[in-house]
Structures are given as C-alpha cells and as structure tokens.
Amino acid sequence: MKQAIKFFFLLSAFVMLAFVNQSFSQTMEEATNAYNKGVELSATDLPKAIESLLSAADIASKIGPEAEEIKKTAESQIPLLQYNYATSLYKDKKIDEAIAGFIQAHDYAVKYNDAPTQAKADDLLPKLYLAKGSAELKENKLPEAIASFDKAISYDAGFSKAYLSKGLVFKKQEKFDEMKSAMDKAIETGVASGDDKTVASAKKTMASEFIKKANAAFKKGTFAQVISNVDESVKYEDNNVEAFYLYALSYNKLSKWDEAISNAEKGLALEENTPEKQARFHYEIGVAQSGKKNTDAACAAFKKSAVGPLAEQANYQIKTVLKCK
C-alpha cells in the first residue's frame, strides 16, 4: 500500500514537471514569436511593432533569466521605434500627436536606458511646443500659447525663442511688466546661446514699447516721464532716431537747452540725410538756441528747418520772432 502511494506521488511529480516544461517551452515560443512579429511589423506598422516588442519583453521578463536575451533585445528597440513613429506624426503635421509620441519616446528611453534616443526626443520637444504655441498665438488662443511656451521652457530653460514668443503674447495682452520680464529673459538666454536674431528682435520690441510709453507721456505733458521712458528705450536700442527726437522735444519743454541741442545733433547723425527728414531736428536746435539767446545760431537752425511740414512754423520764427537777417 505504501509503495502504491509512493508511486502515485512520483507519477504526480513527473506529470507536473512535464507540464511546467511544456508551459515554459510554450512561453519561450510566445516571447520569440512576439519579438519576431515586432521586427517584421517595424517596416510597415510602427505602433503594432512597438506593441509586439513590449509584449515580448513582458513575457520574457516573466520567464526569468532564461529569456533575458529576448527581453533586452526587445527593449533596446522600443525607444527608437517610438521616436521614429513620433517623427512620422510630425511630418504629417500632427503636432499634438507628435508631442505625445516624443514624450512616450522619452519615457521609453529613460525606462530602457537609451540615452541617445532620450537626447533626441528632449531636443525636439521644446521646438514642437514652440510651434504649437506659435500656432495658438496666431489663432489668438493666448492662454494656451503661454502654456505651450512654458512647456517648451520646461524642456529647455535656455530656449530664447520661447521667451521671445511668450513676451509677444504678453504684449498682445497689454501686460507690460510680464512682457518686459520675458523679453529680458529672451535677451539673456539669446546672448548666452549666440541667438543674435532673437536678441535683436527682443531688444527692438522693448525699445519700441518704451517709445510708445514716451509718446503717451508726451501727450499728457509729463516731460520728465517722457525722458525716463526714452532712457529705458535706449538701453535696448541706442540708434533709434525717434528716441533722440523725443529727447530733444522734452528737454526743450523743460528748458534744458544744452541737453536738447546734444540729443538733436545725435538724431541728425542717425536720420536720413535729406532736408525734409532732418528739418525737425534743426527746428528743435533752433528752439534751444533761441532759449539760450543765441540768435544767430537759432536763425541758422530755423532756416534749415524751413522745409516740409515745419516750413510755416520755422518762417514765423525767422521773420516774426527773431527777425533774422
């Protein structure tokens, strides 16, 4: 009886061992088949190829050390295939899907220790978010554009174009302080990365915006504020002819004759060399020289300004006020 029981247990163990071996063999076959299917599909259907390789890696990981080679080989191909799939979406102008695809490529690359693919995905993501934000800006989706530019910056903190674009959104929203902060960052990062075009664009934008503020202050008659805003403008762009014209106008209004003459002369050096264009600067020099009681110099300046729109005013100064010879 005892021998019968012993034989029964031995038979059961043999059956179980045979089942495990058969199960192991089938699982290895499944892992191999999934891997081979993934390789085959990689030429025609990248999403399904990735799915098969993920399945192969998962099956292999459950088998253990015996399937380690299948697991590693499958995993090593997944990040690049995902990157290639995302690239195809980008070529088809599917920006949102491409962004999601490159994020997935990044995640696979981190998970499977594929540093080159991770670097390529991380290089493209900020550019894609910039493109997405630029499209949103054109469509006047301003909060969405800000979010996209912020995402670009989160991937590349030195991305000068993203800061510039963000500044343009704030400009459109008439948020001056936020615009200035973004533009200053565009200049800082652009200088650091050698992006001269972005630096020039940001400086030009800020110089122009301060000139707008200066003009608004001039209309209100707050001439010290005009000068303060022009001071800020020339920090960004010191060759703007309008800045020196506003300086000359405002210093004359404040009876600061020498400052008016100095800035009018700087404006003359920058202005187009035609009598009509330069007339306004000569007129302000005339006003300043008249204020200083330098009649001869004032008359000479007013005579040079007696062309174009200022001709009537200049001739009045020449004939009636100063009685120039």
pLDDT confidence of residue 98: 95
pLDDT confidence of residue 215: 97
pLDDT above 80: residue 9 = no
Question: How sure is the predictor about 307, in pLDDT bands with cuts at 50, 70 and 90?
Answer: very high
Is there a domain that residue 105 lies in?
yes
Residues 110 and 19 grouped into a single domain? yes
Please name which of 257, 252, 253, 251 lies closest in space to residue 293, comparing C-alpha atoms: 257
Residues 149 and 199 grouped into a single domain? yes
Is there a domain that residue 299 lies in?
yes
Identify whether the C-beta of residue 247 lies closer than 8 Å to the C-beta of residue 227.
yes
- The whole-angstrom distance between residue 261's C-alpha and the CA centroid of its chain comes to 41
Is there a domain that residue 320 lies in?
yes
Is there a domain that residue 133 lies in?
no
Identify whether the C-beta of residue 64 lies closer than 8 Å to the C-beta of residue 27.
no
For 89-100, what is the mean pLDDT? 94
For 243-254, what is the mean pLDDT? 98
Locus of tokens 């200088």 = 191
pLDDT confidence of residue 157: 97
CA angle 9, 62, 116 (to 5 degrees): 160
Name the domain count of the chain. 3
Write out the residue range of the structural domain in which residue 110 sits. 13-115
Identify whether the C-beta of residue 108 lies closer than 8 Å to the C-beta of residue 82.
yes
Is there a domain that residue 130 lies in?
no
* Span 20-52, pLDDT tens digits: 344 445 588 898 998 999 999 999 999 999 999
pLDDT confidence of residue 26: 54
Identify whether the C-beta of residue 151 lies closer than 8 Å to the C-beta of residue 134.
no
Whole-angstrom distance, CA of residue 157 vs CA of residue 119? 15
* Span 265-302, pLDDT tens digits: 999 999 999 999 999 999 999 999 999 999 999 999 99
pLDDT above 70: residue 6 = no
